[in-house]
Amino acid sequence: MKRIVAFSVALGLMLGASAFVGEAQAAKVIKIAGMKADKEPETLGMKKFGELLEKKSNGFYKVKVYPNSSLGKEDKYIADNRRGTIEMCATGTQVSAFHPAMAMMETPMMYDSYAHARRAIDGGVFDLLTDGFVEKSGLRCLNMFPLGFRHFYTKKPVATIDDIKGLKLRVPNITLYTTFAKECGINGQAMPFAEVMSSVDQGVIDGGDSPLADITSTKVYEKCPNITLTGHILVIHSLFINEKLYQKMPAEHKQWVNEAAAESADYVWKLVEEVDKKSAEEIKANGGTISEPSQAMKDHMVAAAKRTWDMFLNPERKVSYVPNAQAIFDKAASFK
């Protein structure tokens, strides 16, 4: 009788393992969708993740990267990732539609430098931002990495507070960004980044704000050669994986995914600073100027940012209110 029971248990385990192998084989190819161009830090980070996961799994997982919105725009590939049509994606604050705290990844004037941001994110900000996210979204946030600090690019030099007041600058059509521009006294013009060049030509805008990598990749410095290093917003993106897929993985597979995500984020953190340096050299070599804002302008923008923070702190702002917002601000400030 004992032998029969033992045989039945062993057979059950074998059948269970076979069933998982079948599932794993079906999910062996992992597709990652992103919005950035092929050679930009986000895409390079996704490719690094793929290399690492394939190596750690000894080829068990094959990762295919789809950059430049080749699987659709952000809202589409996020929805596909949630449904499980694709396994992973890279995106930023767009996921705040499910969990408002994720918008705080790009809170204006929260970080003084890459080093400060890295210390804060690794030191607890990541955990505070993502607390409850997976339950609301069906996605697991695996890491956070920078795409660069946003700086002004303008037709005319920007040296004082008066220079930015009333300035017509392109801003992303995101409430956080448009609110901050308004608080700064900027005449924010919400539009897709793809429309910047034609809008500058037509006089619709006087410039905009972007990470240095975006300024050079589009060569917008040819039309707006004055770059002011305000660093007012650090653009943060993450890798996300479908939670149901993640939970089906054996513990060892989850470890491979987690390690690959952490190591690929390390790679991007280092890469972005190198890209900033090369971008600055390109701008200068092509006749552009790069300058630091005055202390008065910095103080003006910090005050404007703190007024913007109300959208997270005020319970009456139901759409954007984040219950643990003050804890996030305090945690970030503690690492300055």
Give CA torsion, residues 79, 121, 310, 305, to 10 deg.
-110
Report the chain's terminal Cα–Cα distance, integer Å: 68
Q: How far apart are CA 239 and CA 334, in angstroms?
A: 26
Q: What is the pLDDT of residues 72-110, one digit of tens each?
A: 999 999 999 999 999 999 999 999 999 999 999 999 999
pLDDT tens for 154-212 read 999 998 889 999 999 999 999 999 999 999 999 999 998 889 999 999 999 999 999 99
Instruction: Give the domains, in start order, of the chain with CATH numbers.
Output: 2-333 (3.40.190.170)
C-alpha to C-alpha distance for 89 and 77, rounded to whole angstroms: 7
Largest CA distance in the chain: 89
Angle between helices 41-56 and 251-285 (to 10 degrees): 150
Average pLDDT, the chain: 92
Q: What is the pLDDT of residues 206-230, one digit of tens each?
A: 999 999 999 998 899 999 999 999 9
Q: How far apart, in whole angstroms, are the C-alpha atoms of residue 288 and residue 336?
A: 31
CA angle 119, 123, 128 (to 5 degrees): 125
Round to whole Å and give the CA distance between 135 and 147: 26
Q: What are phi and psi of 35, to 5 degrees?
A: -110, -15
Burial class (CB in 10 A: 0-12, 13-18, 19+), 24: middle
Instruction: Fill in the DSSP letter of residue 32.
Output: E
What letter does residue 122 receive in the DSSP assignment?
Answer: I
Q: Specify the DSSP element, H or E, that contains 326.
A: helix 325-333
- pLDDT tens profile 61-71: 999 999 999 99
What is the DSSP-derived secondary structure letter of residue 124? I
pLDDT digits (tens, 9 = 90+) for 280-301: 999 999 999 999 999 999 999 9
Question: Token digits for 227?
Answer: 């770059």
Q: Whole-angstrom Cα distance, residue 77 to residue 18?
A: 31
How many Cβ atoms sit within 10 Å of the Cβ of residue 203?
9
Nearest in space to 275 (alpha carbons), one of 39, 98, 66: 39
Q: How confident is the model at residue 48 (pLDDT cuts 50, 70, 90)?
A: very high
Can you give the pTM of this predicted structure? 0.89
What is the per-residue pLDDT for 13? 42
How far is the C-alpha of 109 from the C-alpha of 124, rounded, in Å? Answer: 18
Question: CA 149, CA 230: separation in Å to the nearest integer?
Answer: 8
**Where do the DSSP E strands lie in 243-300?**
289-291
